[in-house]
Amino acid sequence: MSLKPLNRFWPTTGLAVVAGMRTMAPLSALSSYLSKAPLPMLTGFPFGFLQKKYVAIGLKALTLAEMAGDKSPDAPARIVKTGLIARAVSGAVVGAAIYKSRNGNAIGGAVLGATVAIAATYGSYLLRKKLVASSNVNDPTFGALEDIIALQSASFML
């Protein structure tokens, strides 16, 4: 009887999609998950720090700050260079950590995570702009709905 490989693709893809919506949410979800059940495969790995409880708490605070800042009229679009890079890095870190923790190739996970995060950044940006333009609902309200979707999705992926 052969063992089934641990699923790496879908959790990475799902969390990278969330990274396209909210940079910190997937990192926070993964860190919270790992801090409750640290994995030996991540010990000594560059992203092994995600398993620490204080990192999970800090990332939760940063996630809340990001969500509050998103409602500001002065918030830059997520597709500006720095926002896009941050989301790609978030997806890459999540992908590398998931792949490494599940006996996979961390570089492959990072590439997958970054690629999906960039695509999701543009997709979620364009969708939100289209929804605002075609409805009587204002942008911060759609932003709050996006927050709920991002948090629920991130927690569901793990």
**Where is pLDDT greater, at 149 or 4?**
149
**Where is pLDDT greater, at 39 or 5?**
39
Cα R_g (the chain), whole angstroms: 16
- Where helices occur in 43-138 by DSSP H, the ranges are 53-70, 81-101, 106-133
Tokens of 84: 């896009």
Residue range 105-121, pLDDT digits in tens: 999 999 999 999 999 99
Residue range 68-84, pLDDT digits in tens: 998 888 999 999 999 99
**Among 77, 106, 138, which residue's Cα sits nearest to residue 12?**
106
Q: Tell me the pLDDT of the chain averaged across its residues.
A: 93
Measured between alpha carbons, how far is residue 153 from residues 21, 25, 30, 46, 156 in Å?
Answer: 11, 9, 12, 25, 5
d(CA 93, CA 108): 11
Q: Is the pLDDT of residue 1 over 60?
A: no
> Which of the 8 DSSP states describes residue 51?
G
pLDDT reported for residue 140: 92
Q: Is residue 56 within 8 Å of 32, Cβ to Cβ?
A: yes
Whether the full predicted model's pTM is greater than 0.95, yes or no, is no
Measured between alpha carbons, how far is residue 104 from residues 142, 149, 153 in Å?
Answer: 37, 28, 23
